[in-house]
Amino acid sequence: MASAAEQLASNLNFSTFAKAEDLKKRIWFTLAALLVYRLGTHIPLPGLNPEAYAAAFKGQSGGILGLFNMFSGGAVQRMAIFALGIMPYISASIIVQLMTSVVPSLENLKKEGEQGRKIINQYTRYGTVLLGTLQAYGIAVGLEHGAGLVNDPGIFFRISTVVTLLGGTMFLMWLGEQITSRGIGNGISLIIFAGIAAGLPTALAGTLELGRTGALSTAAILTVIVVAILVIALIVFFERAQRRLLIQYPKRQVGNRMFQGDTSHLPLKLNTSGVIPAIFASSLLLLPATAAGFTGTSTLPSWATSIISALGHGQPAYMVLYALLIGFFAFFYTAIVFNPKDTADNLKKHGGFIPGIRPGDRTAEYIDYVLTRITLVGAIYLVFVCILPEILVSQTGVPLSLGGTSLLIVVSVTLDTVAQIQGHLIAQQYEGLIKKSKLRGGKRGR
């Protein structure tokens, strides 16, 4: 079966794409949805003084606001209606997935299949509303503490800000779900991808301008570009890397004929969690700065101010915590999405087994053994890819959009989307071959 799929993939060409009407509709829908998202990042928040805010943001763009701005596609820089982006939804997903591991009722819902998944998704939406409301209120209070940022501070501005920013986040969550079901690729990932990709040309142009004015040396710019190319190559290699476990099926007898047992492979990705650890880690590191917006940093205790400063982008504490969170979420998310016990039970149910390993619990233990070790390698790879460019960015002053997290997201989402497009093309070509064989069989019958 694998060889047949590979042969179909090798035969794909432009004519195959031209005939894939459903795929073209999905691609156009995805592009239209992302265009709507990009338009929303340019609609400003009502009641804000744009000139004063632009000046205030310019002084803070190298810190946590720059990181938030990268994920929101420049919406924070313009304080647009999509300034919160999709981050409240991601944070709510973290909390709900953590709770499914410790709350028995949620764990049982997870085992109920599609119906349970719908209920868990509904809880995630409720969590998104709660977190989005808190973060939007924190932004409103933080804006009011800025000198001259708000034209008419007060309760009306806070309410309108919360409603506007929360509505933007809920719309993006809905838009991401629509892209996933009616478009191509993962909707949430593509929204983040579109935001980062839109900022890359500006970041590159800004870097070259810094080199032209002498603020950055030519050696520093070349170093960052070379490191970025190497990191992209590393990401492509590791994202496509797999550990394939050999699966054998016993011989079977049909009538008087004995058929040889089939063999297949169980592919285990080196990085099963994908870009999720980097996104989760970044979103969690945004929480202290968001909490500080409730009262403003000037009224916080000295110890709280010290913590927020230590967790600033590029600080050693930020780097260490970032690496630890990436490693944790790499293992955590892998454990969430891949259950060795269920895989072993399915193999046993269909008569499959790993040579030399007893079916059942021993197979589950072996799969978990292999998965743990390749996940460790994947976690080290993620930490390296995310931390190395971040160190260069913090040391050289290159714009944040060229950091490790942004490169990881852009390359990984691109690979995943291209893989889904190839899957649709293979399915289209396979259906065409079946139709041709049926037509030939009908002609022969006549």
pLDDT of residue 3: 47
- Find the Cα–Cα–Cα–Cα dihedral 229, 230, 236, 239, rounded to 10°: -130
Helix (H) or strand (E) holding 164: helix 155-182
pLDDT of residue 170: 93
Answer yes or no: are the C-beta atoms of 424 and 446 closer than 8 Å. Answer: no
Nearest CA-CA partner of 86 in 184, 2, 166: 166
* Cα distances (Å, whole numbers) of residue 305 to 61, 106, 298, 315: 19, 37, 8, 14
pLDDT of residue 424: 76
Q: Enter the tokens of residue 340.
A: 């060795």
Nearest CA-CA partner of 88 in 312, 280, 333, 329: 280
Helix (H) or strand (E) holding 267: strand 263-269
pLDDT of residue 35: 93
Q: Is 252 helix (H, G, I), strand (E, B) or coil?
A: strand
Q: Is 379 helix (H, G, I), strand (E, B) or coil?
A: helix
DSSP state of 169: H
* Cα distances (Å, whole numbers) of residue 395 to 174, 278, 316, 403: 39, 21, 12, 12
Angle between helix 340-349 and 361-396 (nearest 10) = 140
DSSP state of 80: B
Per-residue pLDDT of the chain (446 residues; tens, 9 = 90+): 444 444 444 455 566 666 777 788 888 999 999 999 999 888 888 888 777 877 777 655 544 566 666 667 777 778 888 888 888 888 888 788 778 777 778 777 777 777 888 888 888 899 999 999 988 888 888 778 777 778 788 888 889 989 999 999 999 999 998 998 888 888 888 888 888 888 777 777 777 777 788 777 777 778 777 887 888 888 888 888 888 888 887 766 555 665 566 778 888 888 888 777 887 787 677 666 655 654 555 566 677 677 777 766 667 788 888 889 999 988 988 887 788 888 888 888 877 888 888 888 888 888 889 999 999 999 999 998 888 777 776 776 665 555 677 788 888 888 888 888 887 777 777 666 666 565 565 555 55
Which amino acid is present at 122?
A: Q
- The fold of 218-441 is Preprotein translocase SecY subunit (1.10.3370)
Name 350's bridge partners.
none
Q: Return d(Cα 285, Cα 393) in angstroms, integer.
A: 18
Pick the CATH number of 20-215 from 1.10.3660.10, 2.60.40.1080, 1.10.287.110, 1.10.3370.10: 1.10.3370.10
Answer yes or no: are the C-beta atoms of 67 and 85 closer than 8 Å. Answer: no
Nearest CA-CA partner of 234 in 446, 126, 385, 342: 385
Answer yes or no: are the C-beta atoms of 70 and 400 closer than 8 Å. Answer: yes
Tokens 């649709």 sit on residue: 424
Answer yes or no: are the C-beta atoms of 400 and 313 closer than 8 Å. Answer: yes
Residue range(s) of every CATH 1.10.3370.10 domain in the chain: 20-215, 218-441
Please give the full DSSP string across 315-365, using - where no structure is assigned: -HHHHHHHHHHHHHHHHHHHHHH--HHHHHHHHHHTT-B-TTS-TTHHHHH
Q: Which residues contact 101 (CB under 8 A, 6 or more apart)?
A: 107, 335, 336
Q: Return d(Cα 29, Cα 182) in angstroms, integer.
A: 7
Enter the pTM of the model.
0.76
Q: Is 49 helix (H, G, I), strand (E, B) or coil?
A: coil
